[in-house]
Amino acid sequence: MSGQVMPCSAREIGSLFLFEELTPEQLGRLCAEGRVERFEPGPVYTEGEPATCFYVMIEGTVVLYRRVGGDDVEVSRTSQRGVYAGAMQAYLGDRVPQVYNNSMRVTEPTRFFVLPADTFASIMREWFPMAAHLLEGLFFGSKSTQRAIGQRERLLALGSLSAGLTHELNNPAAAAVRATAALRERVAKMRHKLRVISAGPYTREALANLIEIQERTAERVAKAPALSPLEASDREDAVADWLDDHGVPDGWRLAPVFVQAGLDPDWLEQVAAEVGPDVLPGAIGWLNYTVETELLMDEIEDSTTRVSTLVDAAKQYSQLDRAPFRHADVHELLDSTLLMLSGKIGPRIEVVKDYDRTLPKIPAYPAELNQVWTNLIDNAVSAIGGTGGEGTLTVRTAREHDRLLVEFRDTGPGVPQEIRGRIFDPFFTTKPVGQGTGLGLDISWRIVVNKHHGTLQVESEPGDTRFQVLLPLTAADDAPPPEESP
């Protein structure tokens, strides 16, 4: 937008704090190559457009704002004489994109001293060579530092996840190894028992009955009900008494295994009726090995299924071989992240999932949302750890109008009011030195706001801190077409 060009006064320009130390010759050059423009209320320039001018306000009121998702967010409003905006990085040349980094409008008739970007760049290099050099170092140094620390943030998260995953994988893997060794021992004893039975005074009919009972017992193990400790104890006493009454040795040792497999005195009565009293002790011993091998195989299956589940969760978390932008179920993403972080969360923090399973899939970058979940869960766990390590983390999903809410609520000490406005700033952290980079929330904010056109906000008081992520249910007009989940 162009304003009304007005006469340029070197004396007036020299009264602006940016130019007050310049010589009359330098002020003359500014007036010769620049211009004074008067703008009526409305936009002056728009974010993302080529940065062609450097603006210094002489009088009036300016508002600077940034585009965040579909909204214009005001970042500055001032009537201070001499404030400047526009092509402030022109001196860097083509090493950075020369576009306006924000938008500017005026709310009343406002006069600016306007300098073409090329002139501003050449004046910076000619008149302030040392300053330009320092500014270049600051600009590129901060960019490099932010990239390096951002990478460090991701590596820290990866290390934490790897430690948690290793811990979680170790338990079922060790259980499978132990169960396999025990199974090998039981099968060897079963073979020995089979030789004893085959050499004993058993009729062909008795052996056939025993094998049929063995098959039915294996089926019963697969359908064994879950019992409370009190129920299991009562049944173990009843089974042990039955075994003792029928002359079966070591009934107290066999009873817990039989109860775990779902066998009770009624079932044992059926066995006794079919094999006869002389065969019963051998049959009970044979069935004991059958039950133990079935239970061990169940344990191995559970352990290997757990390993497979963890590997699937790791793939879900990393989004390997998945489209970067696709329709995703946030609950799958949340579950995989919670599973990956379960080692860090630990047993003293209760995790409550309050999911609205009726929510639709949303267009998203799932791998990046997982990074957001990781950062927010990690912060919650750290906050709870600061109050003794015990507390509750509640992860809630809900629909709020045309957006999907994901809320992380912790029972930590809360975010003090005086720093609440700074927690999303780059490099700001309340963690001890060496334990935080201060980029977790900054990265999360950029992923949610810039990448997904959503919002990230916090509500906090002692014992109740809630980080809320609001994501649109439909893709933005400029987003790539999302792929469907397999």
Q: Using one digit for the tens of pLDDT, what is the confidence trace for 297-306? A: 877 877 777 7
pLDDT band at 159 (very low <50, low <70, confident <90, very high): low
Query: 15-29, 170-184, 230-244: which has the minimum mean pLDDT?
Result: 170-184
Average pLDDT over residues 272-282: 76
> Within this chain, do residues 178 and 286 fall inside the same structural domain, yes or no?
yes
Q: Higher-confidence residue: 468 or 193?
A: 468
Average pLDDT over residues 144-149: 53
Average pLDDT over residues 18-41: 88
Q: Higher-confidence residue: 86 or 422?
A: 86
Q: Where is the domain boundary, 127, 142, 157? A: 127
For residue 361, being part of any structural domain is answered with yes
For residue 223, being part of any structural domain is answered with yes
For residue 426, being part of any structural domain is answered with yes
Judged against a pLDDT cut of 70, whether residue 265 lies above it is answered with: yes
For residue 483, being part of any structural domain is answered with no
> How many angstroms separate the CA atoms of 103 and 90, rounded?
17
> Within this chain, do residues 214 and 301 fall inside the same structural domain, yes or no?
yes
- pLDDT at position 437 is 40
For residue 315, being part of any structural domain is answered with no
Q: Higher-confidence residue: 296 or 7?
A: 7
> Within this chain, do residues 21 and 80 fall inside the same structural domain, yes or no?
yes
- pLDDT at position 386 is 61
For residue 417, being part of any structural domain is answered with yes
Q: Where is the domain boundary, 277, 309, 341? A: 309
**Read out DSSP for 424-455?**
TSTT---SPTTT--S-HHHHHHIIIIIITS-E
- pLDDT at position 354 is 94
> Within this chain, do residues 338 and 457 fall inside the same structural domain, yes or no?
yes
> Within this chain, do residues 360 and 303 fall inside the same structural domain, yes or no?
no
Judged against a pLDDT cut of 70, whether residue 132 lies above it is answered with: no
Judged against a pLDDT cut of 90, whether residue 460 lies above it is answered with: no
The three-state secondary structure class of 457 is strand
Return the top range by mean pLDDT from 66-70, 171-175, 449-453. Answer: 449-453
Its sign, for the CA torsion 431, 435, 438, 441, is negative
Mean pLDDT over each residue of the chain, to the nearest integer: 77
> How many angstroms separate the CA atoms of 333 and 395, rounded?
12
pLDDT band at 318 (very low <50, low <70, confident <90, very high): low
For residue 17, being part of any structural domain is answered with yes
Our measurement of the distance from residue 417's CA atom to the centroid of its chain's CA atoms, rounded to an integer in Å, reads: 25
**Which residue range is the domain that position 65 belongs to?**
4-127
CATH number at residue 445: 3.30.565.10
> How many angstroms separate the CA atoms of 293 and 193, rounded?
14
Answer whether 363's CB lies under 8 Å from 482's CB.
Answer: yes
Average pLDDT over residues 65-70: 68
Number of domains in the chain: 3
- pLDDT at position 330 is 93
> How many angstroms separate the CA atoms of 181 and 197, rounded?
25
pLDDT one-digit tens code per residue, 387-440: 567 889 999 999 998 899 999 999 888 776 665 555 655 544 555 433 444 446
- pLDDT at position 146 is 55
Buried b (16+ CB within 10 A) or exposed e, 114-135: bbbbebbbebbeeeeeeebeeb
> Within this chain, do residues 171 and 284 fall inside the same structural domain, yes or no?
yes
Answer whether 250's CB lies under 8 Å from 258's CB.
Answer: no
- pLDDT at position 399 is 94
> Within this chain, do residues 256 and 332 fall inside the same structural domain, yes or no?
no
Q: Higher-confidence residue: 279 or 357?
A: 357
Radius of gyration of the chain (CA): 36
pTM for the whole structure: 0.46
> How many angstroms separate the CA atoms of 115 and 119, rounded?
7
- pLDDT at position 258 is 83
Q: In what order do the strands lie in the sheet with 455-461?
A: 349-354, 391-400, 403-410, 464-472, 455-461
pLDDT one-digit tens code per residue, 97-108: 788 878 888 988
Query: 82-86, 225-229, 459-463: which has the minimum mean pLDDT?
Result: 225-229
> Within this chain, do residues 335 and 301 fall inside the same structural domain, yes or no?
no
Helix (H) or strand (E) holding 473: none
Q: Where is the domain boundary, 309, 341, 369? A: 309
> Within this chain, do residues 60 and 199 fall inside the same structural domain, yes or no?
no
> Within this chain, do residues 240 and 299 fall inside the same structural domain, yes or no?
yes
Q: Higher-confidence residue: 19 or 479?
A: 19
Percent of the chain with pLDDT over 70: 74
pLDDT one-digit tens code per residue, 211-220: 777 777 777 7
List of residues 6+ apart from 228 with CB closer than 8 A: none
For residue 133, being part of any structural domain is answered with no
> How many angstroms separate the CA atoms of 69 and 449, rounded?
6
- pLDDT at position 71 is 65
Nearest partner of 353 among 372, 332, 382, 378, judged by Cα: 332
Token pair of 389 as six digits? 């390590």
pLDDT band at 227 (very low <50, low <70, confident <90, very high): confident
pLDDT one-digit tens code per residue, 230-240: 888 888 888 88
- pLDDT at position 127 is 72
Q: In what order do the strands lie in the sheet with 42-45?
A: 42-45, 103-106, 62-68, 71-78
> Within this chain, do residues 331 and 452 fall inside the same structural domain, yes or no?
yes
pLDDT one-digit tens code per residue, 328-373: 899 988 988 888 787 778 788 899 999 999 999 999 888 888 888 9
Average pLDDT over residues 256-273: 82
> Within this chain, do residues 327 and 444 fall inside the same structural domain, yes or no?
yes
Half-sphere exposure of 54 (CA within 13 A, CB side): 20
> How many angstroms separate the CA atoms of 183 and 293, rounded?
6
